[in-house]
Amino acid sequence: MWSKRYRGALLTICAAMMLTGTTAMAAPLKSGLTIAFVPKQVNNPYEVTADNGGMAALKELGDHGKVVGPSNAGASSQVSYINTLIAQHVNAIVIAANDAHAVVPYLKKAMARGIKVVTFDSDTAPDGRQLFVNQATAESIGRGQIQLAAKLMGGSGELAILSATPNATNQNTWIGWMKKELAKPEYAHIKLVKIAYGNDDDQQSFVETQGLLEAYPHLKAIIAPTTVGIAAAARYISTSPYKGKVVVTGLGTPNQMREFIKNGTVTAFQLWDPGQLGYLAAYAAANLASGTISDKPGESFMAGKLGKRTVGADGEIILGPLTTFDASNIGNFNF
C-alpha cells in the first residue's frame, strides 16, 4: 500500500501538472485585434474556403477579420491592398503571396510599422514575413504528386505539368520537388515534356490543356498542382476523346472534382483542408500580434480545434499531411 505521505506528494505533482496544462491552454491572447487576409485572388474557391477558415478562427478569438485582395494572381496585384492595410494600421496581415519578391518591400514597410505578417499557402522570401503557415512540407507535396501520377500512368509515358502563374512560390517549390522525385531510377520511363501555366485562370487553364494535348499527341498524363488548373483540365478532357486515355491528377478541391471522379475523367487527386489552413494561419497571426509567440523555432501555441502547434525552422508552421481523394472517400469531404 502507498504511504499517506507518498500519496500526498503524488497529488501535489498531479495538481501542479494540471495547473501547468491550464496555463498553457489559456494563452493570454489580446482580443479585438484587426487581422486582414489577403488571398492570391478573391474569386478562387480554394482561397475562399481558406479565408472562411481564417474568419471562423478570428470570430472564436473575438477579433475582427476581413478579406481584401485582387481578382487575378499577377505578381504585383496585391501591392495596393497591402498599402491600404498599412494606412489602416491593422494588427496583422495574413497573405498568400503571388510572388516571392514583389510584395516584400511593402510587407517590410508593414512590419517596420509594427504590423505582424504571416504568409500562408504561398510564401514570400523569408525577410518578407515573420511566419509561414504551410499546408504540408513542400517536399511531401512535390514527391507525393509524382508518386500518385506514376501509379496512375502505369509507370511510363509523357507527362506535362499545368501550373498556376510562373511566379507562384508554392507551385514552383512543389515543381522543384517533383523534378527531384522524377530523377529517381524508378521513374526512368516517365518523361516530363512541358510545364505550362494557366495563371490560375479557369479559361486560360482550359486553353492550355487543349494546347498540351495538341502539341504532345502521346501525352499520358497532366499534373495540375493548382485547384483552378486541375478543374479546368478535367473539364476539357471530360468531353474530349482523351477521356479515360490521358490521366488528369494534381491538387484539387473535392467539391470541384466530384463530378469528374463520378464520370471517370479523374481517378485520384490530392489536397489538404484549405479551411484548416486559414484557421491555423489566423491563430498564428493572433498569437504573433498578442506577443505570445515570435518567429523563433520551437515556440508553440494553441490553435483552437487544431491543438498545439510549434514554429519550425525558418518560421514555418505545418498544417499536416496530404490527403489523396478518390471514389472511395470523396463523399466524406465537403470543401
Within 10 A of 75 (CB to CB), how many other CB atoms are there? 17
Query: What count of Cα atoms within 13 Å lies in the side-chain half-sphere of residue 311?
Result: 22
Beta-sheet strand order (sheet of 64-67): 64-67, 34-38, 92-95, 116-120, 131-134, 316-318
- CA 43/CA 64 separation, integer angstroms: 22
Minimum CB distance to ligand RAM smaller for 230 or for 289:
230
If one asks whether residue 164 binds ligand RAM (CB under 6 A), the answer comes out as yes
Q: How far is the CB of 154 from ligand RAM (least distance, A)?
A: 25
Minimum CB distance to ligand RAM smaller for 40 or for 220:
40
Tell me the residue number closest to ligand RAM, measured at CB: 46
If one asks whether residue 158 binds ligand RAM (CB under 6 A), the answer comes out as no
- CA 202/CA 42 separation, integer angstroms: 14
Instruction: Kindly state the cell numbers that stand for 158.
Output: 509523357
Minimum CB distance to ligand RAM smaller for 40 or for 116:
40
- The answer to whether 77 touches 303, Cβ cutoff 8 Å, is no
State the binding string over 170-189 for ligand RAM (x if CB under 6 A, else -): x-------------------
If one asks whether residue 200 binds ligand RAM (CB under 6 A), the answer comes out as yes
Site for ligand RAM, residues 265 to 284, rule: CB under 6 A: none
Instruction: Kindly state the cell numbers that stand for 164.
Output: 498556376
Q: Which window, 4-12, 52-60, 80-88, 226-234, contacts ligand RAM (CB under 6 A)?
A: 226-234
Tell me the C-alpha to C-alpha distance, in Å, between residue 140 and each of 108, 137, 178.
30, 5, 10
Tell me the C-alpha to C-alpha distance, in Å, between residue 256 and each of 26, 55, 108.
38, 22, 36
If one asks whether residue 78 binds ligand RAM (CB under 6 A), the answer comes out as no
Which residue in the set 85, 251, 286, 317 belongs to the binding site for ligand RAM (CB under 6 A)? 251
Helix (H, G, I), strand (E, B) or coil at 145: helix
Instruction: Kindly state the cell numbers that stand for 274.
Output: 484549405
- CA 270/CA 125 separation, integer angstroms: 26
246 DSSP assignment? S
Sign of CA dihedral 306, 335, 172, 71: negative
- The answer to whether 120 touches 145, Cβ cutoff 8 Å, is no
Q: How far is the CB of 86 from ligand RAM (least distance, A)?
A: 23
Size of site (CB under 6 A) for ligand RAM: 14
Q: How far is the CB of 87 from ligand RAM (least distance, A)?
A: 27
Q: How far is the CB of 59 from ligand RAM (least distance, A)?
A: 24
State the binding string over 113-132 for ligand RAM (x if CB under 6 A, else -): --------xx----------
Which residue in the set 49, 124, 134, 227 belongs to the binding site for ligand RAM (CB under 6 A)? 227
Which residue in the set 147, 226, 256, 290 belongs to the binding site for ligand RAM (CB under 6 A)? 226
Q: Which window, 14-22, 143-151, 153-161, 223-231, contacts ligand RAM (CB under 6 A)?
A: 223-231
If one asks whether residue 40 binds ligand RAM (CB under 6 A), the answer comes out as yes
Start-to-end CA span in the chain (Å): 56
By the criterion CB under 6 A, which residues form the site for ligand RAM?
Answer: 40, 44, 46, 96, 121-122, 164, 168, 170, 200, 226-228, 251
